Amino acid sequence: MSDAITLMELGGIVLLLGLLGRFAGRIGLSPIPLYLLAGVLVGHGGVLPLGASEEFISVGAEIGVILLLLLLGLEYTAAELVTNLRQQAPAGLVNIVLNAAPGVAVGLIMGWPAAGVVAMAGITCVSSSGITAKLLTDLGRVGNRETPVVLSLLVLEDLSMAVYLPVLTAMLAGVGVLAGVLSVGIALVAVAAAMLVALRLSRPLGRLVFSENSEVLLLIVFGLALLVAGLAQQAQISEAVGAFLVGIALSGRVATSAEQVLTPLRDFFAAVFFVFFGMRIEPADIPPMLLPALALVVVTTVTKVAAGALAARRAGIALPGQIRAGTVMVSRGEFSIVIAGLATGSAIVAPGLGPLAATYVLLMAVGGPLLARAGEPAGRWAVALAARLGRRGPMSGPAVAEGAGESPLP
């Protein structure tokens, strides 16, 4: 009987997602906000809470993030990644500091202990890799000039989590300095090893993985991504970083063929990820924290857009591309929820952290895709306004007129 209920629940939610996706397409909107709201409705405290299928949805959500970042990684080579990381390291540091500061301020105002302040800093700092990756695909921006800049900032954020999460975990557990330093060291060694493989062994790995049989290729690449993602998570690194590095390590015809066979799988599990994300938010927690969360949304939207635009400007991208780079990164998501879960599940006394984080993340996850879509016309309006005022963007006038920042990568 329980198996039948599980199948009916899964069938119902998948059918609902399909209908929501069709509706979003009709009105020209990204389906992500609708998927998130559907998750809230079927989560704990929702109108139609699911029970039997929750475990499957939880695992499917992790797979969704892995596939989103894997396919993004397939778009770029290891050399391109390293070049962009070097170029964007200063902007990445500014991005992290600028977006962690509002979380620190909130923690201090609320009178939380040091661990609570550090946790809130992480919640406001890191963009959602899953939502951003999906937006870049949905909005047709994977080939845009600003996209490598966005990916560099996302990877730098995720790599910073390799240091941040062990430190936060140590603070929450009250362990000694030596144990915290050891955890950080293990995470950094694991990241360095993965980057070395991506740089030095890309071609041999591609020859080993490639198969003319699409079924075999799907199984090998998908299995490799899951394996590396699991190892990355075990080393206190984001599974998203692990999957992204696998995609980076695969290039040439293996990347092209893998993208073709994995795209439908990615689309399905990405939708599951957004539903599960919404399911983890208690609707009853939202009203009391709505005003402080809205204030935090306004501040961190400004800081994230500014950081993304600054990074794009450093890369010589015109004003429209700068605005697109900033707006597409606004959404917060999986990392913020993980950090809030760690903090609220520990012995630290930080009243209100969990509800505030949940409300904040929901607003950012729903509003972020809407803002990202608005980034396209906003860029055109900004150029028109600059022209009226007799000003020019960071690049020359003709470059902006020709759509610099919008042309695909070679």
pLDDT of residue 114 exceeding 60, the answer is yes
pLDDT of residue 396 exceeding 80, the answer is no
What mean pLDDT do residues 242-269 have? Answer: 85
The number of helices, as runs of H, and strands, as runs of E, in the chain is 17, 0
The listed CATH number (2.30.40.10, 1.10.10.10, 3.30.465.10, 1.20.1530.20) that belongs to domain 2-401: 1.20.1530.20
Short-list 249, 163, 151, 153, CA closest to 209: 249
What angle, 0 to 180 degrees and rounded to 10, lies between the N-to-C axes of helices 2-26 and 32-42? 150
pLDDT of residue 352 exceeding 60, the answer is yes
Could you tell me if 353 and 120 are in contact, meaning their C-beta atoms sit under 8 angstroms apart? yes
Q: How far apart are CA 215 and CA 330, in angstroms?
A: 37
Cβ neighbours for 55, distance < 8 A, ≥ 6 positions apart: none
State the pLDDT confidence band at 398, using cuts at 50, 70 and 90.
very low
State the pLDDT confidence band at 276, using cuts at 50, 70 and 90.
confident
pLDDT (tens digit, 9 = 90+) per residue, 147-199?
988 988 988 887 777 677 777 777 776 665 566 677 667 767 766 776 777 67
Cβ neighbours for 265, distance < 8 A, ≥ 6 positions apart: 67, 218, 222
Q: What is the pLDDT of residue 94?
A: 92
Give me the residue spans of the domains in the chain.
2-401
First to last CA, the chain: 55
Q: How far is CA 1 from CA 58, 158, 246, in A?
A: 21, 42, 40
Q: Provide the Cα torsion 157, 159, 164, 166; round to 10°.
A: 150
Could you tell me if 39 and 277 are in contact, meaning their C-beta atoms sit under 8 angstroms apart? yes
- Could you tell me the two tokens for 31? 């389906």
Q: How far is CA 360 from CA 288, 363, 365, 400, in A?
A: 12, 5, 9, 35
What mean pLDDT do residues 88-104 have? Answer: 92
Q: What is the pLDDT of residue 407?
A: 39
Q: Residue 142: how many CB atoms within 10 A of its CB?
A: 16
Range with lowest mean pLDDT among 127-141, 348-362, 396-410: 396-410
Cβ neighbours for 231, distance < 8 A, ≥ 6 positions apart: 190, 242
State the pLDDT confidence band at 303, using cuts at 50, 70 and 90.
very high
What mean pLDDT do residues 290-303 have? Answer: 94
Q: How far apart are CA 342 and CA 361, in angstroms?
A: 15
State the pLDDT confidence band at 404, using cuts at 50, 70 and 90.
very low
- Could you tell me the two tokens for 403? 């759509």
Indicate the average pLDDT of the chain.
80
Cβ neighbours for 249, distance < 8 A, ≥ 6 positions apart: 73, 78, 197, 198, 201, 202, 205, 206
Q: Residue 63: how many CB atoms within 10 A of its CB?
A: 22
Q: Comparing 28 with 160, which gets the higher pLDDT?
A: 160
